[in-house]
Chains A and B, each alone.
Chain A
Amino acid sequence: DVKVTQSSRYLVKRTGEKVFLECVQDMDHENMFWYRQDPGLGLRLIYFSYDVKMKEKGDIPEGYSVSREKKERFSLILESASTNQTSMYLCASSGTGTANEQYFGPGTRLTVT
């Protein structure tokens, strides 16, 4: 079974803190993705990576950065957390090809106070 794990299920941070969200997949997938999910807005793509050390902006990259030093690991970084970044963050991975299934991690509920 494909497994995508995320470092925390729940996280509470203060405004201005630097936040790291970690994601690990065990299926040797080339593609990895970070989304946030908010009520009424659905899932929105923040960043994705199609190879080690490669990254591409998604639809809402402002206020975020990412790192992919190893194929299995994709990190999302909030350089200076703000209250409008309170959300559910979901990581996903997939193999190459546009029709491949994306496998999601369980999500991290981040609250910024």
Chain B
Amino acid sequence: RKEVEQDPGPFNVPEGATVAFNCTYSNSASQSFFWYRQDCRKEPKLLMSVYSSGNEDGRFTAQLNRASQYISLLIRDSKLSDSATYLCVVNKGNTGFQKLVFGTGTRLLVSP
């Protein structure tokens, strides 16, 4: 079983749609969680951290369910510029170190 699993997609949605991505992780001791965004042929960049209480940043909402070891990302009012691959990332490091495990990504295509 992969440590972080995501549906690879692609998710094809029209502009203005709401789309949700899910991710599961296997290490119950994981402490911090993130969504990174990666544009085609570019490096990954942090989209948002994911907190236990859930968090929102504009059109983006992230949720964490520790009991089910499940993370989600909701994008509302999709824009063309949201087209990218979204990477679910879990920190499995302990003793204060970062050892990030990346999912293989979910590809989103937003069309006019």
Contacts and interface: CB of A to CB of B under 8 A. Distances in A.
Contacts of A45: 99-101
A90 interface: yes
A105 B43 CA distance: 7
A48 B31 CA distance: 19
B97 A43 contact: no
A69 interface: no
B10 interface: no
A98 B32 contact: yes
A56 B43 contact: no
A84 interface: no
Contacts of A33: 98, 100
Contact of A104 (B45, B97, B104): B45
19 contacts: A31-B97, A33-B98, A35-B102, A42-B4, A42-B102, A43-B100, A43-B102, A45-B100, A48-B97, A50-B97, A56-B97, A58-B99, A97-B96, A98-B31, A98-B93, A99-B49, A100-B98, A104-B43, A107-B43
Interface of B: 4, 31-32, 34, 42-46, 49, 87, 91, 93, 96-105
